[in-house]
Amino acid sequence: MSNSLHSELIAAVATAPGHGGVGIVRISGQGARAVGEAVCGKKLQPRVARACSFSDNGEVIDQGIAVLFADGASFTGEEIVELQGHGGPVVMQRLLDCVCAHGARIAYPGEFSERAFLNGKIDLAQAEAIADLIAANSNTAARAAMRSLQGDFSKRVNELEAELSSLRVLVEACIDFPEEEVEFLEKSQVQQRTDHLIDRLTLLKRTCTQGALLTQGAAVALIGHPNAGKSSLLNALSGMDTAIVTDIPGTTRDLLNVDLVLDGLAVRLVDTAGLRQTIDPIEQIGVERARSQAQNADLVVLIVDGSDLSLKNDAQGVKSATSALLSGIEHSGKVLVAINKVDLLTGTMPVHDELPYCQISAKTGAGLAELKSAITRALGFNEQEATFTARARHIEAIDCAYRALQTASGAMLDLAGIEIVAEELRVAHLALGEIVGTVTPDDLLGRIFSEFCIGK
């Protein structure tokens, strides 16, 4: 955000769209108090709620409460006024128009949070946690986002930054005395401290990977031959009759999505058309969409009709079925086999010793609890390790810092030159700085805050 935009008075409806008991128009920037007093017709005092009528040229728009937050003591760090009225969209729009008529402009998406960051009220990871908290779709995600907002993630990054800064001071000082380089580095334990930082980054990445899964959720594609029980399984896992289930092969023609939470992780289950050769042009499109969904999914669950395999009574039938299903599908490697219809089996259940598998019955519910746990395990999610939310960009930054520290450590072992060590430590430091915003390109700020809703 440019300095000129940063100095402007901004306003937006801060509550969700639609009808509600209460709606809030938020005003931030120099002059917010004057605008608030002009609209409500009363003097405002910081952190004192004033009951008033909101008026526009003498016409009363609504009745509600006005609250002033002083410069430096608000969410954005600027003077803020919140006008709290009735939450009807027409009322809120009229109140917002009135505020803009007094000199404010409508805020851009995320502009309030961006100003809070620019004014030092929160760092960049905390700002992103606001959006994560709003978008949280499970209790686990909400708790993790709150911990990020409170600074748990930032604290760990800041500790690493401080240690890196200390190392950089030692190494930069060593450049001025090259004849004492090796002795100085050994005495200062720079090698050991660098390797220790690498270990700490490894642990941080593992936690961030869990946090990113919480933030992004996961897509799980249900793939199988016609009548293997994909739609029945979708209904059983969701607890709703979402998909049409019949004995007629090819009933499912298009993708059908169901969102649910498994062990705290938001998962989108996608039911797909049965994979088979067909001359029906509509079903052909469905089959192609099924293959495409399998290629793009975070996890492919292969539904195998166990009753068809019971005559063979061995694992080879399962392997042949899964190989046929995966034929022609490029996938990420995360595959889980669900052997369905175990309620119809009379012999020994065939197993799969190459891919993780579950034995289930979508009809009776047998094995579904185990399948749910197997899905989260296959996705690499561990609810206990998801202590805070994270983003893909955070993981990329940690990877960059990790690679730089590895190079620095190798350079010290090979005596490749202190300048290389210094440069790699600088790169690692800058990468970590991008996470919390101590080093942040303007285009990165624009991308991050553009994803926020207006009013935050």
| pLDDT digit string, tens, across residues 339-359 | 888 877 766 555 666 677 888
Both 168 and 271 in a single domain?
A: no
- Domain end among 102, 122, 142: 122
3-state helix, strand, coil in the chain (%, to 5): 50, 15, 35
Give the helix ranges, DSSP H, for 150-273: 152-175, 181-187, 190-216, 230-238
Can you tell me which residue has the tokens 């004057």?
34
Of the candidates 22, 212, 16, 26, the residue with the CA atom closest to the CA atom of residue 111: 26
Write the CATH number for 191. 1.20.120.430
Residue 251 has pLDDT above 50, yes or no: no
pLDDT band at 53 (very low <50, low <70, confident <90, very high): very high
pLDDT value at residue 278? 57
pLDDT value at residue 406? 94
Most confident of 30-44, 298-312, 338-352, 438-452: 30-44
Does residue 329 form part of some domain?
A: yes
Residue 167 has pLDDT above 80, yes or no: yes
Lowest mean pLDDT among 83-87, 242-246, 416-420: 242-246
Both 236 and 343 in a single domain?
A: yes
Cα–chain-centroid distance for residue 82? 29
Q: Give the number of domains in the chain.
A: 3
Does residue 450 form part of some domain?
A: no
Write the CATH number for 16. 3.30.1360.120
Mean pLDDT of the chain: 83
pLDDT value at residue 311? 46
Both 154 and 91 in a single domain?
A: no
Both 101 and 233 in a single domain?
A: no
CA atoms of 147 and 142, how far apart (whole Å)? 9
Does residue 309 form part of some domain?
A: yes
Does residue 456 form part of some domain?
A: no
Does residue 454 form part of some domain?
A: no
Mean pLDDT value across residues 63-72:
95
Mean pLDDT value across residues 27-41:
95
Mean pLDDT value across residues 387-412:
93
Both 228 and 368 in a single domain?
A: yes
- Domain end among 75, 91, 122: 122
3-state SS class at 253 = coil
Both 110 and 230 in a single domain?
A: no
Predicted TM-score (pTM) of the model is 0.78
Torsion-angle region of residue 439: left (phi > 0), alpha (psi -120 to 50) or beta?
beta
Both 110 and 155 in a single domain?
A: no
- Domain end among 88, 122, 156: 122
Residue 329 has pLDDT above 90, yes or no: no
Residue 186 has pLDDT above 70, yes or no: no
pLDDT value at residue 290? 66
Residue 174 has pLDDT above 80, yes or no: no
Does residue 453 form part of some domain?
A: no
CA atoms of 111 and 185, how far apart (whole Å)? 46
Mean pLDDT value across residues 428-441:
86
pLDDT band at 269 (very low <50, low <70, confident <90, very high): confident
What percent of the chain clears pLDDT 90, i.e. is strictly above it?
45
pLDDT value at residue 402? 96
Does residue 351 form part of some domain?
A: yes
Both 328 and 418 in a single domain?
A: no
Identify the domain containing residue 23 by its residue range. Answer: 3-122
Residue 244 has pLDDT above 50, yes or no: no
Most confident of 33-47, 356-370, 374-388: 33-47
Q: Which two tokens stand for residue 98?
A: 């009135």
pLDDT value at residue 248? 46
Lowest mean pLDDT among 78-82, 230-234, 286-290: 286-290
Q: Find out whether 373 and 382 touch, Cβ atoms under 8 Å.
A: no
Both 368 and 247 in a single domain?
A: yes
- Beta-carbon neighbour count of residue 327 at 10 Å? 8
Give the model confidence (pLDDT) of 195-228 as tens digits: 999 999 999 999 999 999 988 888 888 888 777 7
pLDDT value at residue 5? 57
Both 262 and 309 in a single domain?
A: yes
Most confident of 119-128, 298-307, 344-353: 119-128
169/181: higher pLDDT: 169
Q: Find out whether 447 and 169 touch, Cβ atoms under 8 Å.
A: no
Write the CATH number for 266. 3.40.50.300
Residue 381 has pLDDT above 50, yes or no: yes
Both 374 and 422 in a single domain?
A: no
pLDDT band at 390 (very low <50, low <70, confident <90, very high): very high
Residue 1 has pLDDT above 50, yes or no: no
pLDDT band at 250 (very low <50, low <70, confident <90, very high): very low
Q: Which two tokens stand for residue 292?
A: 């495409």
Both 358 and 401 in a single domain?
A: no
Give the helix ranges, DSSP H, for 11-151: 32-40, 89-101, 111-118, 124-135, 139-149
- Indicate the angle between helix axes 418-436 and 190-216, nearest 10 degrees: 30
Lowest mean pLDDT among 59-73, 163-177, 253-267, 436-450: 436-450
Does residue 247 form part of some domain?
A: yes
CA atoms of 240 and 372, how far apart (whole Å)? 16
